[in-house]
């Protein structure tokens, strides 16, 4: 059993390598109680060496803020384009899909150039406008309360339409992915995303590597409710292991 100083060194080493530690895992690895680990994390937080959350700790605060879509569009732009190109390969001819909101799914909309008929249901105004130029694409724009920061709608009216919808794939953008699941900065958007998942046979998450280890206020779902995540080369091996242990297919866009 390690002493307090050595435990703290071990915890900080894990944080540097993965960005996140879990109380139960540390308890098993260091052969001490959960209570001891929680005390260790509290001491390290008091020294500003980590940020505690329920069940663990992060190198920095995992919580993300709601930024305007115009600002987010310029972040990780190359990675988003690669992810979008990979995601576009999943769309079949004469398919029916749902595209949620976000800058990565907007990049997907720009990649779509169908040769035959395609039906797209979306909550995002910018996605609908992007696809409206294609004669082969039929767009069903969900209605509801407009969220200006995301250029998308949410609320009861959008959810009601989805009750009568059945599609092959939901392409979902998120603000955060960690061991607790998928999150976004808006509770209303999180609830709409849940309804979208119920209307689709498969949920494919498009998320650049900066989204991992981050967390928003609104929880969309647990990890094991997602079938496929497409991301970039910045994702860590430990994160891939976590995702795959939850039955998620992980694709690294090249």
Read off the pLDDT of each residue in 48-62 and give the average, rounded to a whole number.
80
Please check the confidence at residue 72 and state whether its pLDDT lies above 80.
no
pLDDT in tens, 88-100: 999 998 999 999 9
Per-residue confidence band for 58, with pLDDT thresholds at 50, 70 and 90: confident
Q: Do domains 4-58 and 69-252 have the same CATH topology?
A: no
Please check the confidence at residue 13 and state whether its pLDDT lies above 80.
yes
109 touches 130 (CB < 8 A): yes
pLDDT in tens, 31-54: 999 999 999 998 988 888 888 877
In CATH terms, the fold of domain 69-252 is: Rossmann fold (3.40.50)
Please check the confidence at residue 207 and state whether its pLDDT lies above 90.
yes
Read off the pLDDT of each residue in 230-238 and give the average, rounded to a whole number.
93
Please check the confidence at residue 67 and state whether its pLDDT lies above 60.
no
Per-residue confidence band for 65, with pLDDT thresholds at 50, 70 and 90: low
In the chain, where are the structural domains located?
Answer: 4-58, 69-252
According to the CATH classification, is domain 4-58 in 1.10.10.10?
Answer: yes
Please check the confidence at residue 203 and state whether its pLDDT lies above 80.
yes
pLDDT in tens, 131-185: 998 999 999 999 998 987 778 999 999 999 999 999 999 999 999 998 889 999 9
Please check the confidence at residue 229 and state whether its pLDDT lies above 80.
yes
Three-state secondary structure of the chain: CCCHHHHHHHHHHHHHHHCEEEHHHHHHHHCCCHHHHHHHHHHHHHCCCCEEECCEEECCCCECCCCCHHHHCCCCHHHHHHHHHHHHCCCCCCCEEEECCCHHHHHHHHHCCCCCCEEEEECEHHHHHHHCCCCCEEEEECCCEEECCCCEEECHHHHHHHCCCCEEEEEEECCEEECCEEEECCHHHHHHHHHHHHHEEEEEEECCHHHECCECCEEEECHHHCCEEEECCCCCHHHHHHHHHCCCEEEECC
Indicate the range of 5-9, 72-76, 243-247 predicted with least confidence: 72-76
Per-residue confidence band for 2, with pLDDT thresholds at 50, 70 and 90: confident
pLDDT of residue 7: 92
Residue with tokens 């994390």: 41
Q: Specify the pTM.
A: 0.77
* Tokens standing for residue 171: 């392409």
Distances (CA, A) of 52 to 55, 184, 200, 251, 254: 8, 20, 35, 30, 34
């Amino acid at each position: 059993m390690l002493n307090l100083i050595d435990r703290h060194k071990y915890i900080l080493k894990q944080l540097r390598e993965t960005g996140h530690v879990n109380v139960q895992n540390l308890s098993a690895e260091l052969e001490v109680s959960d209570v001891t680990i929680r005390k260790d994390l509290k001491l390290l937080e008091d020294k500003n060496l980590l940020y505690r959350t329920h069940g663990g700790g992060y190198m920095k605060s995992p919580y993300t803020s709601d930024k305007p879509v115009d600002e987010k569009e310029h972040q990780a732009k190359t990675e988003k384009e690669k992810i979008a190109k990979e995601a576009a390969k999943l769309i079949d001819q004469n398919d029916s899909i749902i595209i949620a909101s976000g800058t990565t799914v907007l990049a997907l909309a720009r990649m779509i150039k169908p040769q035959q008929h395609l039906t797209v249901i979306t909550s995002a105004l910018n996605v609908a406008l992007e696809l409206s130029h294609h004669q082969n694409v039929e767009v069903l724009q969900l209605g509801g309360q407009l969220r200006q920061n995301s250029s998308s709608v949410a609320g009861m009216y959008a959810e009601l339409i989805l009750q009568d919808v059945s599609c092959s794939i939901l392409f979902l953008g998120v603000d955060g992915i960690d061991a607790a699941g998928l999150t976004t900065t808006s509770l209303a958007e999180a609830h709409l995303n849940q309804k979208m998942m119920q209307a689709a046979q498969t949920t494919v998450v498009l998320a650049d590597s900066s989204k991992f280890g981050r967390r928003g206020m609104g929880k969309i779902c647990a990890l094991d409710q997602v079938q496929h995540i497409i991301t970039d080369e910045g994702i860590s091996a430990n994160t891939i292991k976590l995702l795959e242990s939850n039955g998620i297919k992980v694709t690294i866009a090249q």
